[in-house]
Amino acid sequence: MIDKFKAKFVEESMDNVHDLEEALFLLEKDMNNKELIERIFRAMHSLKGGGAMFGFNHLSEFTHHLETIFDWVRGNKLAVSTDLISLTFSAIDHINHLLKTGDLTNDEEIADQKAFIQRVQAFLTLTDSPAQKAGMTSVEASGAEAAIATKTYLISFIPQPELLQNGTNPLYLMDDIHALGQAVSIAYTHKVPSLDLIDNTSNYCIWQILVNTAESVNEIKDVFIFVEDECELHVDQIAETNIIGKPEINVLIEKALQHNLLLTPDDFKSGDWNKVQTKEPEEKKKVVVKEHKISSIRVTSHKIDELVTLVSELVTIQAQLSLYAENHDDPVIGALTENIQKLSRQLRENAFDISLIPLQSELMRFQRLVRDLSKEQNKDIDFVIEGGDLELDKNIIENLTDPLLHILRNSIDHGIELPEERIAKGKSPKGTILFKAFHSGANVIVEISDDGKGMDTEYIRQKAISKGIIEADAVLNEKEILELLFVSGFSTRDTVSDVSGRGVGMDVVRRKIANIRGEVTIESQVGKGTLISIRLPLTLSIIDGLLVKVADNQYVIPISSIDKIYALDPAQIKQSFNNVVIIDKEQVPFIDLRKVFNEPQHQTDIVQMVMVKSEDKKSGVIVDNVVGEYQTVVKPLGRYLKKQEIISGASIMGDGTISMVIDTSRLLQSRKNIKVTG
């Protein structure tokens, strides 16, 4: 049970850390932004409190010190500096580590943490003179001073029955409130049912607390930070002075308890102790609205995967039903089938929409990489993100992160020059890496471009020759040379290091992207920069395909890669010595699937050629005949057929037979003789 809570805490904390990182990035650009400081402080506070609650003691201890720093910052006792932000960034790494491993057991790590805490504390002693560094006005500070006069607040805490199920003990919350100042708590127990009806995991009580404190409304609300979602909470200022213990108040409390009627701020208005009514009702309204609305829920990705699988199966069954309806001339079944088809299409679209997550969630890691690496290498880089709110299938995002990190690392390591170098070349000393994501038809395109030194094609050529990838006298155009970067063996594993040549492991990048049915291309200009473009499908499991027949088997070719379809005489293919046919006076290279799949030669009068394009390659693919267009669910072939590269999956047709899905980019790559069209 407790492990479940722990897992939930870790998951939620990851969100907090994420939020923290995001706020920190923004703060770096706008160091005086109060709102951001507040956000950081709150995230720290949640981590500290939650950590202590769930037995992450080191985490709690560690964040406590950070929280202190940001408390000082928000109290204008400390100014935000680049050093402070850097320290907090490394602190976030440490927090991540603590969340992953739990309490430290290794002595060395404990010593590390101690050292770290000392660094944090050093900050506090270093800048003892308040607010002077950042040149902040002391007006705000004195404003804070004035607030020391205590006020009396009415807290109405109306928890939902589920409150206790998260392991919250409301009495501790009361204790926390009492710690803020003089307080009287009133517990309403009228909702507690008779003993036989009590569910001992539910909460039935409602509390109201009168507290006299110098702290702000936000401070009071912070006490309830962990139960925000499980309760209705109102904090209203009812008096400018301490009114607790006055006989009139006691009468009010007595009355409220007798009638089981909750006290309202209005009850206190009549009292002569209160001359100024300051709290605007607006804020109260805001709080109520916020707590009644649940705009999103957290679901495990496993459940979503399952939903998507079920929907995929439904689509398959529905196809079978359509086939049955077609073959049986029954108008009722026909109409029903049509309706089911419509519904399942909507359901499918919905289910896939659910499994989409914004790219944004991963961008933080990229920003972090750029920031850290550029600092490390003394490069000045502006990382610009466009289209971060674009949504992609979560399986795609999961598989995309590593290749993208790799590409970014390449851009920083080898693309962007040092500031001096850039000035010498007449560029602005600050380099730019642009990360851009956008829709293009049924695809999503992610582009990473830099304005660095670009790639020297002659160097790549020489390297390819020395590695024996191309002949010394091979004539290649620029595009073909850049294509060499993707050839495995171009950059061998032993040269993979931070200082190796550009193009490190690009073959791995391409392979990983190909696994999610994506394509990578490079464009580069010496001195101007490099653009790497990744084309991705929107979802992985359903494709629009063209069903074709080759010998006894049916195959699916993704529509997205198809250009045109021609009918040919088989004799034309047989005559060709170099696998080229002439269409419209143009030479078109082709791949005969019968040959690729080792099937006997064509016996028919006519064959069809599907023009397929992938990346920059274009080729005809000869099939026996085209059956039609189908929308199909792609199923994996399993581990035993992984070596079968040209076939990326299989799909079950309406009649239960299987057709195999052709990976066009692999098919085209399998034939080296295809000329790259420039």
Q: Using CA atoms, how far apart are residues 59 and 57, in angstroms rounded to an integer? A: 5
Residue 652 Cβ vs other proteins, minimum distance, rounded to whole Å = 5
Confirm or reject binding of residue 264 to other proteins (CB under 8 A): no
If one asks whether residue 288 binds other proteins (CB under 8 A), the answer comes out as no
Cβ closest to other proteins, residue 316 vs residue 579? 316
Q: How far is the CB of 339 from other proteins (least distance, A)?
A: 22
- Establish if 637 lies at the interface with other proteins (CB under 8 A): yes
**Cβ of residue 658: shortest distance to other proteins, in angstroms?**
4
Give the pair of three-digit tokens for residue 393: 């299938």
Instruction: Specify the residue, 628 or 638, whose C-beta has the smaller distance to other proteins.
Output: 638
CA distance linking residue 348 with residue 631, whole number of Å: 12
Two tokens at 353? 């929409």
Q: β-strands 586-592, 580-583: how paired?
A: antiparallel
Shortest spacing between CB 508 and other proteins, in angstroms: 21
Copy the structure tokens of residue 677. Answer: 């069209």
Provide, rounded to whole angstroms, the least separation between the CB of residue 159 and other proteins: 42
> Given candidates 332, 642, 672, 678, which one binds other proteins under the rule CB under 8 A?
642
Q: Which of residues 317-356 bind other proteins (CB under 8 A)?
A: 317
**Is there binding between residue 650 and other proteins (CB under 8 A)?**
yes
Please tell me what DSSP assigns to residue 9.
H
What is residue 599's three-state secondary structure? coil
Report the candidate in 673, 619, 394, 403 with the shortest Cα–Cα distance to residue 520: 403
In angstroms, give the least distance from the CB of 512 to other proteins.
18
The H-or-E segment that residue 578 falls in is none
Between 124 and 317, CB nearer to other proteins? 317
- What's the length of the chain? 678
Q: How many CB atoms lie within 10 A of CB 99?
A: 19
**Contact region for other proteins (CB under 8 A) — 19-27, 111-119, 437-445, 634-642?**
634-642
Q: How far is the CB of 378 from other proteins (least distance, A)?
A: 47
Distance, in Å, from the CA atom of 678 to the CA atom of 675, rounded to the nearest integer, reads 9
- Residue from 128, 131, 149, 133 nearest 141 by CA: 131
Closest contact distance (angstroms) between CB of 599 and other proteins is 7
Q: Rounded to an integer, what is the distance from CA 149 to the centroid of its chain?
A: 45
Pairing of β 529-537 and β 443-450: antiparallel
**Of 257-265, 313-321, 349-357, 375-383, which part binds other proteins (CB under 8 A)?**
313-321
Q: Any contact of residue 598 with other proteins (CB under 8 A)?
A: yes
Q: Does 26 bind other proteins (CB under 8 A)?
A: no
3 state SS for 143-208: HHHHCCCCEEEEEEEEECHHHHHHCCCHHHHHHHHHHHCEEEEEEECCCCCCHHHCCCCCCCCEEE
For 91, the token pair is 């602190």
Rounded to whole angstroms, the Cα distance separating 591 from 622 reads: 6
The strand pair at 431-440 and 381-386 is best described as: parallel
636 binds other proteins (CB under 8 A): yes
* Residue 111 in contact with other proteins, rule: CB under 8 A: no
167 part of the interface to other proteins, by CB under 8 A: no
**652 touches other proteins by CB under 8 A:** yes
Pairing of strands 617-623, 586-592: parallel
641 binds other proteins (CB under 8 A): yes
Among 16, 213, 316, 374, interactor with other proteins by CB under 8 A = 316
- 499 in Cβ contact with 521 (< 8 Å): no
CA-to-CA distance for 382 and 41, rounded, in angstroms?
Answer: 27
At closest approach, how far in Å is the CB of 458 from other proteins? 39
Which tokens go with 537?
């499908």
Nearer to other proteins, 445 or 660 (CB): 660
Q: What is the CA radius of gyration of the chain?
A: 33
Q: How far apart are CA 100 and CA 323, in angstroms?
A: 51
Are the C-beta atoms of 378 and 416 separated by less than 8 Å?
no
Of 375, 647, 654, 666, which one interacts with other proteins (CB under 8 A)? Answer: 647
Q: How far apart are CA 254 and CA 198, in angstroms?
A: 26
Using rule CB under 8 A, residue 638 touches other proteins? yes
Binding test (CB under 8 A) with other proteins, winner from 5, 72, 273, 597: 597
- The verdict on 552 binding other proteins (CB under 8 A) reads yes
Q: Does 658 bind other proteins (CB under 8 A)?
A: yes
Q: Does 646 bind other proteins (CB under 8 A)?
A: yes
Nearer to other proteins, 594 or 617 (CB): 594
CB of 624 vs other proteins, minimal distance in Å? 14
How many residues bind other proteins (CB under 8 A)? The answer is 29
Residue 657 interacting with other proteins (CB under 8 A) = yes
Smaller CB separation from other proteins, 8 or 549: 549
Q: How far is the CB of 646 from other proteins (least distance, A)?
A: 8
* Complex with other proteins: residue 97 or 635, whichever CB lies closer: 635
- Binding mask of the shown chain, residues 357 to 386, with x at each position contacting other proteins by CB under 8 A: ------------------------------
Q: Would you say 404 or 650 has its CB closer to other proteins?
A: 650
> What are the CA-CA distances from residue 218 to residues 170, 222, 235, 291 (Å)?
19, 6, 9, 15
Which C-beta is closer to other proteins: that of 223 or that of 634? Answer: 634
Residue 600 engages other proteins in binding (rule: CB under 8 A): no
CB 458 within 8 A of CB 464: no
Q: Is 292 in the site for other proteins (CB under 8 A)?
A: no
- Distance, in Å, from the CA atom of 509 to the CA atom of 486, rounded to the nearest integer, reads 8
H/E stretch holding 442 reads none
CB 515 to other proteins: min, Å: 14
Shortest Cβ distance from residue 573 to other proteins (Å)?
18
3-state secondary structure of 222: helix
Binding flag, residue 534, other proteins (CB under 8 A): no
508 binds other proteins, rule: CB under 8 A: no
Exactly one of 85, 508, 565, 596 binds other proteins (CB under 8 A); that residue is: 596
Q: Which of 192, 18, 29, 34 is nearest to 92 (CA)?
A: 18
Is residue 660 within the footprint of other proteins (CB under 8 A)? yes
Please name the amino acid found at residue 177.
I
**Beta carbon of residue 597, minimum distance to other proteins (angstroms, whole number):** 3
Residues lying near other proteins in the complex (CB under 8 A)? 313, 316-317, 552-553, 596-599, 635-644, 646-647, 649-650, 652, 656-660
